[in-house]
Amino acid sequence: MRLQLFLGVFSVCALAFSPVADGCGPGRGYGKRRPPKKLTPLALKQFSPNVAEKTLGASGRYEGKITRNSERFKELTPNYNPDIIFKDEENTGADRLMTQRCKDKLNALAISVMNMWPGVNLRVTEGWDEDGHHSEDSLHYEGRAVDITTSDRDRNKYAMLARLAVEAGFDWVYYESKGHVHCSVKSEHSVAAKTGGCFPGNSLVTLEGGAKKLMCDLRPGERILASSGSDGSGEPLYSEVVTFLDRQPDAHKTFYTLGTARGANLTLTAAHLLFATDAADCSRSALKEAFASDVRPGQCVLTYGQGDEEQEEEEEREEGTQTRKGGVRRGHLTRVTWVEVREGRGAFAPLTRHGTLVVDDVLASCYAAVDQQWLAHWALGPLRALHSLAGSAFGPGTGTHWYARLLHWVGSVLLDPSHFHPWWKIGTI
Ligand SMILES: *[C@@H]1O[C@H](CO)[C@@H](O)[C@H](O)[C@H]1NC(C)=O
């Protein structure tokens, strides 16, 4: 059951991220064209997956109504896809508003509808509902559900339309009535949480010699600036990228950006770990792992090699300390001055041999979800060993996040729940 569920989630990801590709690198293209698959229409009143809509195996729990005045209204984005007909009977454009995930699935479905029935388009009869026309706790109130038909309103097509919606990656599809199909998706942050922690594709890592490389171009076997030991207080060194715990070049995610006083700005997902001090104690001994979403202005992080080297050398002489070790500059404790939440593209989680890495000139962890660097590093020991035996023969690969589950499981056996990122406390499958 668990395995099935896992494979289900995995294939949804693979589907979800296949339609779009830009950004860096080939990203895709190493897939062969799949043989046409036999598609079975849904029966009237059938839903897929075969669990209740608002459970974890489907679209997850209802999180509250979104109105035009609510803070969460910004989570909704309009869909202007010209291949989709919006009924818009309210004449407010509300049917076009939906979450990014809902939009991605709908756009994928629009393409399969045109392929299946040339000359026919996907039609949306209900999207986001601000007028309370649906039952209590309907996902329409959150922009996470759509009711659909085909543009020719041929009811004989709706059973197959429901199947196409399942294939397009909707998290729950219900052939609700002879007149329409209902589809819904998980909330954005529950999806983000499941992928553990990641950096966007346009973040930069530092190679030996100081050159910078885009995260999306990084490959296993390359050595990048990191810190020794499995915590932030170690010495700087170059650590080999063993594998990617997560690699989804086309994913859209919500990221936290932490801006620092030295101009280095680190961008990463909420549940990812980095090393920060308390606001009150900005000293190296106070560095410890923290979730990105818990770091506040005033806390210090370790930054590397930003800006004026002369001043740094001056400081070195004054301090009388050796700040260069093996040719690598030591990090500076630097105050975080601002925090922002933004959308970004790509989700990359490289695993280095030392469990740390410097991204955008700021020291971060390779791990996420559980605020215990030692535990994560220990739990993934076998994986690092496997990869060092096999070399980097695995290639970059794409889209795994099973490690976050593994960690979650190990953590749930060994740790108090307070060590989990809040998103992981809601529960996982
Ligand atoms: C970091 O953000 C600040 C403020 O937005 C900007 O001025 C600075 O150029 C950014 N630094 C880098 C390295 O992009």
Residues placed in the known binding site for Ca(2+): 89-90, 95, 125-126, 129, 131
Q: Whose structure tokens read 């803070």? A: 71
Q: Residue 419 carries which DSSP code?
A: G
Distance from residue 265's CA to the centre of ligand 1 (Å): 6
Q: Which residue has the tokens 């909704």?
A: 76
pLDDT at 224: 94
Tell whether ligand 1 has an atom less than 6 A from the beta carbon of residue 263.
yes
What confidence score (pLDDT) does residue 349 get? 87
CA of 264 to the centre of ligand 1 (A): 7
Q: Is the CB of 259 under 6 A from ligand 1?
A: yes
Q: Could you tell me if the CB of 202 is within 6 A of ligand 1?
A: no
Neighbours of 338 (CB within 10 A): 11
Q: Where are the alpha helices (DSSP H) in 1-120?
A: 2-16, 100-116
Question: How many beta carbons lie within 10 A of that of residue 131, not counting itself?
Answer: 10
Q: Please state whether the peptide bond connecting residue 422 to the residue before it is cis, i.e. omega within 30 degrees of 0.
A: no
Is the CB of 267 inside a 6 Å radius of any atom of ligand 1?
no
Q: What's the 421 CA to ligand 1 centre distance in angstroms?
A: 28
Q: Measuring CA to CA, which residue among 307, 311, 304, 290 is closest to residue 204?
A: 304
pLDDT of residue 417: 62
What is the Å distance from ligand 1's center to 266 Cα?
10
Query: What is d(CA 94, CA 26) in angstroms, rounded to the nearest whole number?
Result: 37
In short, whether 373's Cβ falls inside 6 Å of ligand 1 is no
Taking the C-alpha atoms of residue 261 and residue 249, their distance in angstroms, rounded to an integer, is: 30
Q: What pTM did the predictor assign?
A: 0.54
Q: Please, what sign has the CA dihedral across residues 58, 344, 421, 75? A: negative
Nearest-angstrom CA–CA distance, 209 and 280: 35
pLDDT one digit per residue (tens) for the chain, 429 residues: 333 333 222 222 222 232 233 345 443 333 344 455 688 999 999 999 999 999 877 898 898 999 999 888 888 889 999 999 999 877 888 889 999 889 988 998 999 999 999 999 999 999 999 988 899 999 999 999 999 999 999 999 999 999 999 998 899 999 999 999 999 998 877 665 455 678 999 999 999 988 999 999 999 889 999 988 655 567 888 999 887 877 888 877 778 899 999 999 999 987 788 889 988 888 877 888 888 888 888 999 999 875 445 455 555 554 444 444 445 667 888 999 998 888 788 888 888 888 889 999 999 988 776 666 666 676 667 667 766 665 544 444 444 445 556 666 666 666 666 666 655 443 332
The values of phi and psi at residue 108, to 5°, are: -65, -40
Residues 6+ apart with CB under 8 A from 407: 196, 367, 368, 369, 370, 375, 376, 379, 380
User: Which numbered atom of ligand 1 lies nearest the CA of 260?
Assistant: 1
| Per-residue pLDDT tens over the stretch 9-19 | 222 222 223 22
Q: Whose CA is nearest to atom 11 of ligand 1?
A: 263
Strands (E), 163-235: 172-177, 180-184, 204-206, 212-214, 223-227
The radius of gyration of the chain's CA atoms, rounded to the nearest angstrom, is 24
DSSP three-state, residue 393: coil
Residue 321 confidence (pLDDT):
42
Strands 328-329 and 324-325 come out as antiparallel
Q: Tell me the average pLDDT of the chain.
A: 77
Collapsed DSSP state (helix, strand, coil) of residue 168:
helix
Q: Which of 249, 248, 269 minimizes the C-alpha distance to 424?
A: 269
* pLDDT score of 291: 83
Q: Which amino acid, one-letter code, is at 248? A: Q
Domains parsed from the chain with CATH numbers: 46-186 (3.30.1380.10), 192-305+328-419 (2.170.16.10)
